[in-house]
């Protein structure tokens, strides 16, 4: 069955022309989908029964079933374990702040990249998620927020999976998030995070949109990166930087580099100096993340003084640097942790 989120107003108007020719019916459908974010056709109380019957037989609204929800102590972070139609499990996280509501969504069931410290990679790869399943995550969270008279302000494709290994479906979903008649979320409020697939970074640059791009770097040199990220054995940091330079040139946008700090692995002052030398000439921002402890990876995050020294070296080199607040660390909000616990 086709997802209703994959069709335009013109598509719907043509499909229902014989049943409900009045143009305002299409507007009512889209208001229910993209203002109230209804999850079931029976919620469309302003539509005639015959039209609801037709829509329910021909279009699905959601492929998701909520299996579990966990919340942080301060209530700012919620993690949702969602089951797809084939019983596969994915995770979606909502992070609430004073001026924004950010959701982190998945693009694959599991992940084939296999980063050493990542719980998703430890679980292995099952399949790509199609565009409608990516979209359904956003619609699901938007529905919850609408009941509080709140909206999604930012979308980050940084959940389970590698978006650029599911490129076509990812970009299809992102275009619907950005579409003015659909979710209407500004391009600069949408971020795609990738481990660094050079040909896809170049392809992404050609889209001509102001989407944000984040690169999961995690090491200042290829030697350490190969230990942490198996795919780095085939893709060097120099290749990634060549593609990100192309992206910056084409889009005039700044790159964000994600860097997980791991005690004794990539957190020394020498590593910070090496990272600064690597990136100081590029238009970029570094987002540091203290390792989120999980059962399958024995290492620890650095002490806070080590983190501060690392940050200061980067700032002294003139590179904008921030330390991410790991709001979900206490609720297994690191990618793959909740689904892993559920399967156990």
Catalytic residues: 91, 335
Nearest to 108 by CA among 124, 122, 93, 119: 124
Contact assessment for residue 94 and residue 80, using Cβ atoms and an 8 Å cutoff: yes
- CA dist 333 and 73 (Å) reads 13
99 φ, ψ (degrees, to nearest 5): -115, 10
CA 277 to chain centre: 29
- CA dist 327 and 340 (Å) reads 19
Tokens found for residue 340: 């892993």
3-state secondary structure of 344: coil
- CA dist 133 and 59 (Å) reads 14
- CA dist 201 and 224 (Å) reads 22
Contact assessment for residue 202 and residue 247, using Cβ atoms and an 8 Å cutoff: yes
Contact assessment for residue 54 and residue 19, using Cβ atoms and an 8 Å cutoff: yes
The packing angle between helices 167-178 and 131-146, to 10°, is 30
Nearest to 136 by CA among 231, 257, 48, 4: 4
Alpha carbon dihedral 193, 85, 69, 176, in 10-degree steps, equals 40
């Amino acid at each position: 069955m086709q997802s209703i989120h994959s069709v335009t107003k013109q598509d719907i108007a043509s499909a229902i022309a014989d049943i409900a020719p009045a143009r305002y019916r299409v507007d009512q459908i889209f208001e229910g989908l993209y203002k109230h974010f209804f999850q079931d056709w029976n919620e469309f109380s302003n539509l005639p029964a015959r039209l609801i019957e037709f829509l329910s037989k021909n279009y699905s609204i959601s492929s998701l079933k909520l299996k579990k929800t966990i919340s942080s102590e301060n209530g700012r972070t919620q993690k949702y374990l969602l089951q797809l139609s084939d019983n596969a499990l994915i995770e979606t996280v909502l992070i609430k702040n004073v001026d924004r509501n950010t959701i982190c969504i998945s693009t694959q069931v599991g992940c084939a990249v296999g980063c050493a410290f990542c719980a998703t990679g430890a679980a292995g790869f099952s399949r790509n998620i199609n565009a409608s399943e990516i979209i359904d995550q956003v619609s699901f969270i938007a529905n919850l927020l609408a009941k509080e008279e709140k909206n999604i302000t930012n979308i980050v494709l940084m959940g389970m999976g590698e978006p650029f290994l599911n490129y076509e479906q990812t970009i299809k979903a992102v275009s619907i998030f950005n579409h003015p008649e659909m979710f209407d979320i500004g391009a600069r409020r949408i971020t795609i995070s990738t481990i660094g697939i050079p040909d896809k970074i170049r392809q992404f640059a050609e889209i001509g949109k102001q989407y944000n791009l984040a690169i999961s770097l995690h090491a200042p040199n290829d030697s350490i990166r190969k230990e942490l990220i198996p795919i780095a054995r085939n893709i060097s940091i120099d290749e990634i930087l060549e593609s990100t330079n192309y992206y910056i040139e084409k889009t005039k946008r700044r790159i964000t580099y994600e860097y997980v700090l791991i005690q004794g692995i990539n957190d020394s002052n020498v590593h910070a100096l090496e990272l600064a030398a690597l990136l100081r000439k590029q238009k970029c921002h570094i987002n540091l993340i203290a390792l989120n402890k999980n059962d399958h990876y024995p290492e620890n995050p650095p002490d806070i003084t080590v983190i501060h020294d690392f940050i200061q070296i980067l700032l002294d080199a003139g590179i904008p640097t921030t330390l991410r607040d790991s709001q979900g660390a206490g609720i297994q909000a690191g990618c793959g942790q909740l689904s892993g616990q559920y399967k156990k």
